Chain A
Amino acid sequence: GAVVSQHPSWVICKSGTSVKIECRSLDFQATTMFWYRQFPKQSLMLMATSNEGSKATYEQGVEKDKFLINHASLTLSTLTVTSAHPEDSSFYICSASRTGRVYEQYFGPGTRLTVT
């Protein structure tokens, strides 16, 4: 149990375009979902926390107008990178905490974004 999926697994987009990444909890309801960014050979950097039906809470230094997060249901959160630039190229990973066991985070497989 506690499976989290992400779609797409990798995406290439042109500079200036927007790209949406989906994060789904497949077999549980996610009270909270988190979005991370990871650069090669580095640790995970938390970008934002989202709760179903609420506005996301962004970490300091993360542009909320650039990284739009929507948590429309207890099983789906989306991250939209708007007006992407090459420096946005990274590995984006979501995680989810399930109702009743909010201290445990289960991670998705990640999405590799390359902006050309």
Chain B
Amino acid sequence: QQQVKQSPQSLIVQKGGISIINCAYENTAFDYFPWYQQFPGKGPALLIAIRPDVSEKKEGRFTISFNKSAKQFSLHIMDSQPGDSATYFCAASPWAAGNKLTFGGGTRVLVKP
């Protein structure tokens, strides 16, 4: 059972455009929602994360929007650059020690120059 559904599977955006990736979760115990960026052959790198007490968090060109009632959250990449071309994973976990992350299926983003 996939508890975190991520869409789209792939995305092509022009340089300077906005990349939007959406995730939906089912488990109401989830209380921590990070986004990871992964380049081919590398491990995922933590980009930005949010907890449900806020509806939006921004760090540089990356923004997370969170809708608790809809159990959805999204990543917006503003002013997308070719260097942003990577696979992005959303994830979710309970806010607890020894938390286990449940990952979405991933979105491959290609930014065309």
Contacts and interface: CB of A to CB of B under 8 A. Distances in A.
Chain A complexes with chain B: yes
A60 to B, nearest CB: 12
Interface stretch (B14-22, B42-50, B57-65, B73-81): B42-50
Contacts, number: 59
Q: Is the interface of A mostly helix, strand, loop or mixed?
A: strand
Given A32-B97, A44-B103, A102-B97, A110 B42 contact: yes
B93 A112 contact: no
Nearest to B44: A107
Q: Is the interface of B mostly helix, strand, loop or mixed?
A: loop
Interface of B: 32, 34, 36, 41-46, 49, 89, 93, 95-101, 103-106, 108
A80 interface: no
B44 A112 contact: no
Contacts of A102: 96-99
B101 A46 contact: yes
Sorted from nearest, which 3 A-B pairs have the closest CB atoms?
A107-B43, A102-B97, A110-B43
A105 B101 contact: yes
Max chain B CB contacts within 10 Å: which of A41, A42, A105, A109? A105
A27 interface: no
A113 interface: no
A42 B106 contact: yes
Given A43-B89, A44-B89, A93-B44, A103 B100 contact: no
B97 A31 contact: yes
A28 interface: no
Given A43-B89, A44-B89, A108 B43 contact: yes
Given A43-B89, A43-B105, A103-B93, A49 B44 contact: no
B104 A51 contact: no
8 contacts: A6-B43, A49-B100, A95-B43, A102-B98, A103-B32, A103-B95, A106-B46, A107-B44
B35 to A, nearest CB: 12
A36 to B, nearest CB: 9
Contacts of B89: 43-44
Contacts of B36: 107
